[in-house]
């Protein structure tokens, strides 16, 4: 029986540089204690922001510093718990960090209501009177845009204090799935056991052994089904929290509330789903191509990630860094050197697939004086290379934005975040498709592309449809149960499969339960599809040699949230208020399917 590597056995060069954030757990604890003590001077500014322009700037500087410190606390706690979710010290750190963040949020919650009370006229005058105030122009614009939905200082403080207890639903689900779930081993074609964990699941599904894929997929989803009622209760509670916040801030729907808060047009959500449904025949064609290429009579959900050839393409971590660096060469020496150094010298990436590691992959957002960090389980293949490229796109976004913007302008919204990551993948893929003509390598690259589009242009829009329906049911006072959510999810996937896939309704229907992060961030899923659309549009500008295209993208990364999201996209030369980038991305998808059909039919 193949078992996962124990965390204690992971080589140092495969771990991230947590000690660069805090030297020890004791140093972390000391900073949390000091952070909370230092909230008292912040509170002393309450009621005095309007005293003078200088007082306002001093207050904002103090809040900037405390916010940066709080971000470091959060990052370190996340790093400690994510690599080994069964580690109790890491779990305790996460609890301390969330509590500290909630207290920081509550202590600084007076700012927006107080500025609104000062009034737009006076604040606009401050902008004219002092160049130092230029930094806050977009902040003021956004504040008065949201004015009708900002409550008084007392209510805002209470809403800030709710951040900690409200976060428990996501944390509980994450701990249940990543720390408590013990999956029944998969079995390969020789009936030998294969250790099934959150960090090995994807690698098994990407393998050529169909029995291993089937048993891994079934055993994995069966564990979630075993706990379907707990998972349903948690997700329902999270949705009710979203609806509570929507009503507290006087919106008509949770969709409107979430997108308004991020300054995203509601039409963008509905346009995406309309275009997605219109293009479902593309996915139906892909399932047929995949079934034929695999040579199976019936396609099953566990065949979606199966390799289409028996040819193996081993891509060690260091080779992946080379490929990614070559693909991003058009971005310039600085971009590439920072990224390479982060991977090979500064230990940005924690990449060993050890036991207890959290599922999936992510990149942290951090203040200037720390690195961005990536968590993933690297398995020496093209899929892992693609994931690394994706997460490094996030990291480069964090690197540039954190050094160009103060904290309150650096934390770019999620509608923008998925652009930088998918851009890295598009550039790496384009380079390798152009420079490596080997048929089997081309097929493997196109499989990687389809895996990426499958996640962002099939799974995520399907989850977005599920989100909309479940939120609307709660808003109308209708009940949600595990079985009703399973039925809804199965119906949506059935439409997407178009009769070309065997539909195991229960196991497919529990898909919502396996997304222990995405569905706990309100209407986050559809933003992936927006990100991949913008990313392909930006990559096209650079690959076609448009003047200043690479510089435009770096300026996009540096912008953070210093402008409205749609204006930030325009810095990169893309108009996301138009549906054209989404339509164009589906054209890219169509071209990949056609190319794959030709290569696999020979």
* Mean pLDDT, all residues of the chain: 93
Judge contact between 172 and 234, C-beta under 8 A: yes
The pLDDT value recorded for residue 466 is: 98
pLDDT tens-digit series, residues 309-318: 888 899 999 9
Q: Looking at residue 158, what is its pLDDT?
A: 81
pLDDT greater than 50 at residue 489: yes
Residue 174 has pLDDT above 90, yes or no: no
What's the rounded Cα separation, in Å, for the pair 532 and 535?
Answer: 5
Residue 473 has pLDDT above 90, yes or no: yes
* pLDDT over threshold 60, residue 408: yes
| 265 pLDDT higher than 90 | yes
Q: What is the mean pLDDT of residues 521-526?
A: 91
The model's pLDDT over 304-337, given as tens digits with 9 standing for 90+, comes to 999 998 888 999 999 999 999 999 999 999 999 9
CA dist 113 to 40, 49, 104, 122, 138, Å? 19, 11, 16, 15, 17
Does the pLDDT value for residue 366 go beyond 80?
A: no
pLDDT for 232? 96
How far is 293 from 307, CA to CA, in rounded Å?
Answer: 9
Q: Is 288 a residue whose pLDDT tops 90?
A: yes
| Per-residue model confidence as pLDDT tens digits over 13-38 | 999 999 999 999 999 999 999 999 99
Closest CA to 215 of 299, 300, 295: 300
DSSP 192-256: -EE---TTTHHHHHTSS-HHHHHHHHHHHHHHHHHTHHHHHHHHHHHHHHHHHHHHHTT-S-HHH
Residue 444's pLDDT band, with cuts at 50, 70 and 90, is: very high
User: Burial, 509: exposed, middle or buried (Cβ in 10 Å; 0-12, 13-18, 19+)?
Assistant: buried
Helix 382-404 and helix 439-454, axial crossing angle in degrees, nearest 10: 60
Pick from 10-14, 220-224, 360-364: least confident: 360-364
pLDDT of residue 236: 95
| Block residue for tokens 């948690």 | 234
Burial class (CB in 10 A: 0-12, 13-18, 19+), 65: middle
Whole-angstrom Cα distance, residue 505 to residue 374?
34
Nearest Cα to Cα of residue 307 among 420, 441, 175: 441
**In this predicted structure, what is the pLDDT of residue 1?**
39
CA distance linking residue 599 with residue 284, whole number of Å: 18
> For the whole model, what pTM was predicted?
0.86
User: Any idea which of 186-200, 226-240, 274-288, 362-376 has the lowest mean pLDDT?
Assistant: 362-376
Question: Does residue 104 carry a pLDDT above 50?
Answer: yes
Report the pLDDT value the prediction gives residue 2, as an integer from 0 to 100: 47
Q: What is the mean pLDDT of residues 275-283?
A: 97
User: How many Cβ atoms sit within 10 Å of the Cβ of residue 551?
Assistant: 12
Check pLDDT > 80 for residue 153. no
Does position 3 have pLDDT exceeding 70, yes or no?
A: no
From the candidates 218, 391, 447, 467, give the one annotated as an active-site residue. Answer: 391
Residues 224-233, mean pLDDT to the nearest whole number: 97
Q: Name the pLDDT band for 358 (thresholds 50, 70, 90).
A: confident
- Give the percent of the chain with pLDDT over 90: 79
Query: How much is the average pLDDT of 145-173?
Result: 81
Backbone angles phi, psi at 363, to 5 degrees: -125, 140
CA distance 514 to 329: 37
Instruction: Fold for 317-443+524-601, please state it.
Output: 1.10.1370
The predicted model gives 32-55 an average pLDDT of 95
Domain ranges of the chain: 317-443+524-601
Nearest to 319 by CA among 257, 396, 380: 380
Residue range 515-533: average pLDDT?
91
Q: Could you give the CA distance from residue 595 to residue 215 in angstroms, rounded to a whole number?
A: 31
CA atoms within 13 A on the CB side of 343: 26
- 391 catalytic per annotation: yes
The answer to whether the beta carbons of residues 308 and 290 sit under 8 Å apart is yes
The answer on pLDDT for 242 being more than 80 is yes
Question: Across the strands, what pairs with 375?
Answer: 350, 362
């Amino acid at each position: 029986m193949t078992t996962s590597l124990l965390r204690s056995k992971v080589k140092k060069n495969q771990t991230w540089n947590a000690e660069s954030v805090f030297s020890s757990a004791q140093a972390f604890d000391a900073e949390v204690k000091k952070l909370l003590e230092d909230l008292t001077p912040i509170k002393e500014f309450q009621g005095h922001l309007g005293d003078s322009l200088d007082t306002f700037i001093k207050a904002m500087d103090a809040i900037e510093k405390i916010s940066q410190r709080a971000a470091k606390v959060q990052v370190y706690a996340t790093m400690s718990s994510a690599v080994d979710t069964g580690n109790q010290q890491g779990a305790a750190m996460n609890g301390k960090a969330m509590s500290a963040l909630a207290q920081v949020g509550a202590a600084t919650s007076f700012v927006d209501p107080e500025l609104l009370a000062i009034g737009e006229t006076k604040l606009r005058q401050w902008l004219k009177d002092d160049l130092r105030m230029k930094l806050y122009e977009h902040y003021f614009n956004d504040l008065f845009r949201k004015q009708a939905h900002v409550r008084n200082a007392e209510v805002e403080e209470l809403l800030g204090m709710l951040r900690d207890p409200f976060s428990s639903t996501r944390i509980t689900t994450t701990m249940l799935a990543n720390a408590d779930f013990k999956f029944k081993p998969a079995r390969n074609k020789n009936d030998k056991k294969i250790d099934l964990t959150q960090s090995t699941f994807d690698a098994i599904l990407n393998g050529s052994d169909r029995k291993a894929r089937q048993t891994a997929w079934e055993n994995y989803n069966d564990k979630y089904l075993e706990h379907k009622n707990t998972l349903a209760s948690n997700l329902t509670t999270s949705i009710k929290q979203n609806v509570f916040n929507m009503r507290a801030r006087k919106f008509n729907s949770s969709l409107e509330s979430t997108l308004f808060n991020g300054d995203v047009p509601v039409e963008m959500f509905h346009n995406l789903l309309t275009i997605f449904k219109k293009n479902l025949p593309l996915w139906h064609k892909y399932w047929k191509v995949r079934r034929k290429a695999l040579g199976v009579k019936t396609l099953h959900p566990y065949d979606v990630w199966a390799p289409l050839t028996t040819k193996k393409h081993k891509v060690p971590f260091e080779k992946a860094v080379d490929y990614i660096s070559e693909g991003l060469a058009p971005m310039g020496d600085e971009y590439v050197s920072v990224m390479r150094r982060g991977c090979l010298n500064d230990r940005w990436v924690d990449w060993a697939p050890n036991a207890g590691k959290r599922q999936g992959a992510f990149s942290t957002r951090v203040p200037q004086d720390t690195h961005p960090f990536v968590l993933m389980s690297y398995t020496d293949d093209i899929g892992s290379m693609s994931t690394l490229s994706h997460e490094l796109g996030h990291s480069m976004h964090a690197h540039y934005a954190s050094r160009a913007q103060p904290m309150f302008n650096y934390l770019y919204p999620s509608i923008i975040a998925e652009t930088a990551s998918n851009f890295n993948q598009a550039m790496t893929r384009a380079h390798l498709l152009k420079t490596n003509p080997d048929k089997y390598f081309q097929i493997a690259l196109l499989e990687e592309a389809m895996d990426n589009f499958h996640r962002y242009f099939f799974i995520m829009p399907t989850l977005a449809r599920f989100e909309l329906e479940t939120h609307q049911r709660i808003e109308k006072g209708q009940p949600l149960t595990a079985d009703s959510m399973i039925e809804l999810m199965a119906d949506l996937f059935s439409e997407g499969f178009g009769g070309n896939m065997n539909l195991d309704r229960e196991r497919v229907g529990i898909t919502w339960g396996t997304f222990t992060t995405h569905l706990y961030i309100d209407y986050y899923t559809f933003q992936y599809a927006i990100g991949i659309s913008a990313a392909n549009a930006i990559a096209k500008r650079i690959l076609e040699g448009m003047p200043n295209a690479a510089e435009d993208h770096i300026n996009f990364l540096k912008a953070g949230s210093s402008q409205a999201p749609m204006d930030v996209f325009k810095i990169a030369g893309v108009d996301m208020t138009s549906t054209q980038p989404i339509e164009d991305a589906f054209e890219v998808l169509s071209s990949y399917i056609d190319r794959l059909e030709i290569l696999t039919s020979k």
